[in-house]
Structure 1
């Protein structure tokens, strides 16, 4: 009997210790701090990310940076078009963002190539543009996402991108070139000016060397429109002129929301939607422009604020909380949190959810009335 009592006491002490450690480490898991203290745990983090180091840095345009990253332990390859989560320490705070490797899948040098466009409002992209250097420590996730070329390559392929959306389709093009793909490929890219095109010289060299590949660059700035293959922003007439046989192609699209909507509308109106494959790096819809009502309760933190209508992540940050988050676009799921009451609107789909106990991504969830989070 004393032995059983000792075991019960030990179990209670362990449980209490775990609760105290969890409370002290909140909002990050205890394992995240253990990784820092114990080098043996650094080969793979508690979140499944692999530590990596930057081995080379280039700045190909005035607002982009290209990183060559070497994972420090085994990292499985990717399918052309997929993305990874990149973990960056920004002023002592771990940030997670999603980026697409741009190299061919057939490049076997053990490196990951990321080209990142510095966004004026992008905390991580701007930090990397300003501070990335050889020897910088990061972490990377395994590749993710259904946006990629199928194993059986289609005969007719169209790749459409805008701005930084070029990286996943550039990986596709480079892969197809390495495979000596015999089918016809149209690479359509939208940029403001020639100086803004990532890998511009390489793209022209590919077009010159391969008769089956058309590289069509369209410039949208008023002073550069006559220098490209098309004139101005995407339209149905423009697409028809650039790719007359679009109906016969499988198309991959990645870029800003305006381009996504314009191309998507063409495919929808013509009944070609099943031939269009898309990757969004932003919210598909905006928050409703209506008066917010109710309150948001952060139960674990014992905080209670008036609902402003912003996303739950933004409202948590405004309340002084620091919930884990990554992409802020509903891709990486780092910000997933349990909602115990209330209705939220998914800003990607526009759908409302009133389930009383569900896991939601707070970066793309807008409270509709009062909501309670386990945060």
Structure 2
């Protein structure tokens, strides 16, 4: 035991550390280089959903209403990152997110059912632009209500109609009712010069359809539509908005289905960390590196925030969103590792 303690101390002395690293050794929340948070409360808000309250550390730069954050957790000795909508108001002392346990989802199951008060989580930067000005129509399904809650708690919305669809017990229903100034499922509250109305749809009686808006929200064509929920809902309502000439903003919990046609995969070398990974044509470079044990920068994991970028020093990669290929021979190529896959053997400076 003594030998182990001395060995760890020797490694610390022999490793070039910055002042921030020494602060993190005393208290992980003091690190500005590697933002972290500590879970201070957990609360069930649905059959498979838990709200986590997180005390943020020195590196957290805050967020705007409607944004999301990457949470990093260590499972079986490896760091995994997933992105969740922020439900707390900007400037609050603590951050809240709601995590729904997804079947076969190791990270979501860990956060929703295993994580406990006192656990540390990594924090990526807040990203996303799920917001708009003027009269709003917020359409959500299932756990898609979480960014709705974050937007409403942010205090920047003064004229909105929320149409939320879910099965049986709907997530955050009491909070939505409170914000709407009602104890029943439908309520209205005057906010400034506008109003907030919450309309709930029980999907066990049938799927919410875009055509239902004419009855539920007769003035929906005069509002900007924000949609978050299952992919089918997003596609249907955003297409309906486009046909009517109504501006819309969508929020997805996961990236679009990757374009894998013509991919090859290959050996990926992360030059800075010295990790070598084998990746197929559909696996993002970020995930391949993490699975091989590399600690790589990441944030939204959907190609939005550009936190995960690294320079392509050799070989070629393919964008999983567009199918386009980029080669190191093209010049100074910076790769978003969360939405890029190997197109043969390649080297990334991370």
Structure-1-length-normalised TM-score? 0.71
The alpha-carbon distance between structure 1 residues 260 and 31, as it changes in their structure 2 partners (threshold 3 A), is: farther
Query: What SS is found at the alignment partner of 1:267?
Result: helix
User: Is 1:162 matched up with 2:141?
Assistant: yes
The alpha-carbon distance between structure 1 residues 363 and 141, as it changes in their structure 2 partners (threshold 3 A), is: closer
Deviations 1:70-122 (A, max 9, x none): 224485543210122333333443333322221344xx651222111122233
Instruction: Work out the CA distance in 2 between the residues paired with 1:285 and 1:134.
Output: 35
CA displacement at 1:36 relative to structure 2: 8.2
RMSD: 3.6
Structure-2-length-normalised TM-score? 0.76
Which residue of the partner structure matches residue 125 of structure 1?
A: 108
Hey, which of these two has a bigger chunk of strand by percent?
2
CA displacement at 1:209 relative to structure 2: 4.9
Deviations 1:137-169 (A, max 9, x none): 3343453333335xxx41x21112222221111
User: Is 1:366 matched up with 2:341?
Assistant: yes
User: Is 1:270 matched up with 2:244?
Assistant: yes
Which residue of the partner structure matches residue 50 of structure 2?
A: 65
Instruction: Work out the CA distance in 2 between the residues paired with 1:95 and 1:243.
Output: 41
Which residue of the partner structure matches residue 249 of structure 1?
A: 223
Instruction: Work out the CA distance in 1 between the residues paired with 2:128 and 2:42.
Output: 26
Instruction: Work out the CA distance in 2 between the residues paired with 1:54 and 1:258.
Output: 33
Instruction: Work out the CA distance in 1 between the residues paired with 2:221 and 2:346.
Output: 46
The alpha-carbon distance between structure 1 residues 295 and 91, as it changes in their structure 2 partners (threshold 3 A), is: closer
Query: What SS is found at the alignment partner of 2:144?
Result: helix
8 Å CA contact 1:76, 1:142 repeated in 2: yes
CA displacement at 1:291 relative to structure 2: 5.5
8 Å CA contact 1:286, 1:347 repeated in 2: yes
Which residue of the partner structure matches residue 294 of structure 2?
A: 322
Deviations 1:305-345 (A, max 9, x none): 58544433455567x45352645433454543322345433
User: Is 1:260 matched up with 2:234?
Assistant: yes
The alpha-carbon distance between structure 1 residues 96 and 309, as it changes in their structure 2 partners (threshold 3 A), is: closer
**Selected match of 2:284 from 311, 320, 323:** 311
Instruction: Work out the CA distance in 2 between the residues paired with 1:352 and 1:79.
Output: 34
Which residue of the partner structure matches residue 188 of structure 1?
A: 163
Hey, which of these two has a bigger chunk of helix by percent?
1
User: Is 1:286 matched up with 2:274?
Assistant: no
The alpha-carbon distance between structure 1 residues 199 and 298, as it changes in their structure 2 partners (threshold 3 A), is: same
Which residue of the partner structure matches residue 353 of structure 1?
A: 326
**Selected match of 1:46 from 33, 48, 51:** 33
Which residue of the partner structure matches residue 219 of structure 1?
A: 202
Deviations 1:274-313 (A, max 9, x none): x21222221223323x364474452745858585444334
Instruction: Work out the CA distance in 1 between the residues paired with 2:52 and 2:80.
Output: 17
Bigger Cα Rg: 1
Which residue of the partner structure matches residue 93 of structure 2?
A: 110
Q: How many aligned residue pairs are there?
A: 323
Range 334-343 or range 30-39, more displaced: 30-39
Which residue of the partner structure matches residue 7 of structure 2?
A: none
The alpha-carbon distance between structure 1 residues 294 and 198, as it changes in their structure 2 partners (threshold 3 A), is: closer
Gaps of 5+ in 1: 1-19, 23-29, 226-230
The alpha-carbon distance between structure 1 residues 208 and 244, as it changes in their structure 2 partners (threshold 3 A), is: closer
**Selected match of 2:177 from 204, 213, 237:** 204
8 Å CA contact 1:95, 1:325 repeated in 2: no
Which residue of the partner structure matches residue 339 of structure 1?
A: 312
Instruction: Work out the CA distance in 1 between the residues paired with 2:130 and 2:337.
Output: 23
User: Is 1:81 matched up with 2:56?
Assistant: no
CA displacement at 1:249 relative to structure 2: 0.6
The alpha-carbon distance between structure 1 residues 349 and 162, as it changes in their structure 2 partners (threshold 3 A), is: farther
CA displacement at 1:252 relative to structure 2: 2.0
Gaps of 5+ in 2: 1-13, 181-185
